[in-house]
Amino acid sequence: MTADLAGLRHPLVRDLAWLLHAPDLLTTPFAGRPSLGELGLEDPQRRRAWLQGFEQAPQTIEARVGPSLVNRLGLYHERLWHFLLDQAPDTRLLAHNLTIRDTKRTLGELDLLYRHRRDAQPVHLELAIKYYLGLPQGPETPDSQARWIGPGCADSLAIKRQHAIDHQLSLALRPEAAEALAPFDAPPLTPRLALLGLLFRPWSCESPLPAPREIAPGALFGDWLALSRWPSFRERIESIHTTRGAFLDKPHWLAPPVDADLIDLESLTGALDRHFAQRRSPRQLILKHADERWQRLFVVGNDWPHRIPLPPPRPTTNH
């Protein structure tokens, strides 16, 4: 990913490059995100030339993804996928936000349908991008997906996983979906789930929190800590090497910023203090250490979490 980001400055194109490489969070009974090979972008030279085309002429991606979507991370992520699958050499977007209805009500939407150049059967891809913080103490066992909750304390990895499989992906299998799918020569469909994002482990925890069950190979991790722990965290990293960083604001929670946008730890500390003097909402940061390593971080209020979502009421049915 680092090599692909080099030379890219436009935030939409940088986020597109991040999306190309972002791994799934979980391994589920369904296939995950489309690979670089499936997209026709496995060759590094071809991929970088493809990205540079949008960097040099960003009007196309700007028009498709739209104006700044403040606080609309999910919609922004979906639009990037629409653009990617429509512009990648080996895929074509067929439909997105396909509404499924019965005679009386709307049952839901299919996130998108696409087709691979070498396969006539359409793919039904459900999308999610999530950032979950792990709880050293909480519901169920330490490796439970219910231990990983959103920064706003409204959902969990367990809840999202169950909803994606039991509702989102199963929606296309209902008889009511047949009419909406008929124009695309479906069914049959190939169901897939792209559940991307990051998991944040508690920093300097006495007993390290294990990864949740079904964790995917290569899943991305960061750290989280309460504001009261920030001085200790800062002291530790400053004793090792020089570090600079930046705050990440929605919807740009994907790619790291360019180096010119990084500030020193003193400035980050002041901004954190000002933020938590007025708000209780967690703040996401990204740090770049002297060894070129990036570290994602959530800083939360000292009273976080103010609530913990209950685990799903029943186990997910295997499909």
Boundaries of every domain in the chain: 2-221
User: Where does residue 218 fall: left (phi above 0), alpha (psi -120 to 50 degrees), or beta otherwise?
Assistant: left
Please determine, for residue 166, whether its predicted confidence score (pLDDT) is greater than 90: yes
Phi, psi for 262 (deg, rounded to 5):
-85, 145
219's tokens: 């899943």
Q: Closest Cα partner for 299 from 107, 151, 91? A: 151
pLDDT digits (tens, 9 = 90+) for 184-212: 988 789 999 999 999 999 998 777 899 99
* Helix count and strand count (H, E) for the chain: 10, 10
pTM confidence score: 0.94
Q: CA of 273: how far to CAs of 71, 120, 232, 278, in Å? A: 22, 55, 15, 9
Residue-wise pLDDT tens digits, 30-56: 999 999 999 999 999 999 999 999 999
What confidence tier does 316 reach under pLDDT thresholds 50, 70, 90? very low
pLDDT in tens, 107-160: 999 999 999 998 889 999 999 999 999 999 999 999 999 999 999 999 999 999
